[in-house]
Amino acid sequence: MKCVIVDDEPLALDLLESYVKKTPFLELAGKYSSAVQAMKELADQQTDVIFLDIQMPELNGLEFSRMLSPETRIIFTTAFDQYAIDGYKVNALDYLLKPISYPDFLQAANKALHQHELMHRSPPQDEIDSIFVKSEYKLVQIKLKNILYVEGLKDYIKIYEEDNPKPVLSLMSMKAMEDLLPSSQFMRIHRSYIVRKDKIRIIDRGRIVFGKTYIPISDSYKQTFQDYLEKRS
């Protein structure tokens, strides 16, 4: 991934640059000592992730983040933890508090890599249109186009279909179900929920609405879901 560092502290710039250079999947596309300088340089450049200081003169990181492409993942770096809530409001991917250790940096970078891979994953040429799941000692075929959402319950899952008031109960993990479903059609939005993308009709205060059921979107999946919405809004 192409990344950029923006920080008005020379020591912080050098430290983050050293972290980027030792991270195999990151390529440093630029480093800037102010948001104003970065804004001029990045106008015609696609950046995958930006490590962005918040408290800077002229134009602070929060203001600058609102000018960036929705596809650019933002990881804030700052010495002041009172900005965490503001970072959440602008859909920052992560928030690193100075002094930043390499393990914390790497964890945030891996999170950005995961989202980058999800967005650029190519759908298979011959996608399946149905799956078989074991339910009550029987193999049951389920058409993918009929699935509304999947709910995880410890070792079991519930598959909710359109026009079927009773969900299909199956002994399998959410991870196994997520791997089985094509990512071009389905999206995990919570550790306990997977939804079919084209069945989403209403989103109410951060929850997807299916009839009388409100499904939450957890923080760890919020940015991916926001990116999906912004491409279609």
pLDDT tens sequence across 165-192: 899 999 888 888 998 898 889 999 999 9
With respect to residue 169, please indicate whether it lies within any of the assigned structural domains.
yes
Unique residue bearing structure tokens 């912080």: 12
Domain that holds residue 189: 130-230
**88 and 7 share a domain?**
yes
Tokens of 26: 């990151």
**80 and 171 share a domain?**
no
Name the amino acid, one letter, at 179: D
**212 and 160 share a domain?**
yes
* CA-closest candidate to residue 65, choices 83, 52, 78: 52
With respect to residue 125, please indicate whether it lies within any of the assigned structural domains.
no
**20 and 67 share a domain?**
yes
Domain CATH code at residue 192: 2.40.50.1020
Return the H-helix or E-strand segment holding 95. Answer: strand 94-97
Of 93, 120, 147, the residue that ends a domain is 120
Domain CATH code at residue 23: 3.40.50.2300
Helix (H/G/I), strand (E/B), else coil: 29: strand
pLDDT tens sequence across 122-145: 555 456 788 888 888 788 899 999
Q: How far is CA 24 from CA 27, 121, 204, 205, 228, in A?
A: 8, 20, 40, 38, 27
Q: What is the pLDDT of residue 70?
A: 73
Stretch 105-132: mean pLDDT, rounded?
78
Q: How far is CA 104 from CA 24, 33, 127, 232, in A?
A: 16, 22, 38, 33
Of 100, 120, 140, the residue that ends a domain is 120
Structural domain count of the chain: 2
Of 120, 152, 170, the residue that ends a domain is 120
**147 and 194 share a domain?**
yes
pLDDT tens sequence across 51-74: 999 888 888 888 888 888 777 888
**146 and 95 share a domain?**
no
- Give the Cβ contact number of residue 67 at 10 Å: 13
